[in-house]
Amino acid sequence: MKNNNQLKVALIQSDLIWENPKENRNHFEEKINSISKEIDLIVLPEMFTTGFSMNPEQIAETMQGETVIWMQQLAKKRQCALTGSIIITENNQYYNRLLFVHPSGKIEYYNKKHTFTLAGEDKVYTAGNEKLMVNYQGWKICPLICYDLRFPVWARNVEQYDLLLYVASWPKPRIEAWDTLLKARAIENMSFTIGVNRVGVDANDYEYIGNTVCYDTLGNCLAKNNDGEETVLVVTLDKEKQIETRARFQFLEDKDQFTIQ
């Protein structure tokens, strides 16, 4: 019988083939098929079918497109959830959209709120304005995307979520910020926190070294890869321990009240 207090998560840290959805899907399918263990959730990086591209006109897909169908088929085949962000076109707009695909094929999604102005993402993609809370196997999951990591108010745990999740294309020169902020988000929100980042060099010559990681409720590292190579990390999260820690320290009970405008 499935223990809903435990969640087994596979974090796939991978290089990406520039603006080539088909080849990226094939690459990730090989990695997913290589996971022999039973997994509850598989996490892929930001824009995992294209790399962090500002050219959506040629590569954007619809919610009925090949990548969405591929994710649904894989989720059903593996009987696990699958999540990551891709470029979606909808109503003549482009979105950096995270898809959370359930084993049933049901899809929930989150549009990246904080578009990365340094790269001009704000000029190409429409920003979202709603957080997503996914209820999956008794876990409440808050999925966010890359640049969202720099904005703690948006991630603040006012919903009593169990897992905070970031998918990213976070480059090497600012990797110390990635490490520091992920640990801070775990500590301040008293939540398991996962960050999945890509590796390799993209068409703009930006280098990525991964540092895919999972922290527990108090900011202790449960799993990490920082060798800059492709890898699959598997980590088992225990919600019972998190509940006990929250009850013991009660830091979330003292959080500030605020509204976001």
Give catalytic residue positions. 46, 112, 146
Which residue bears the tokens 């497109």? 65
Q: What is the DSSP letter of 246?
A: H
The bridge status of strand 81-90 relative to strand 41-43 is parallel
CA distances from 9 to 102, 118, 209 (A): 14, 32, 21
Q: Residue 138, SS3?
A: coil
For residues 54 and 119, is the Cβ–Cβ distance under 8 A?
yes
Which residue bears the tokens 């640990």? 183
Helix (H) or strand (E) holding 40: none
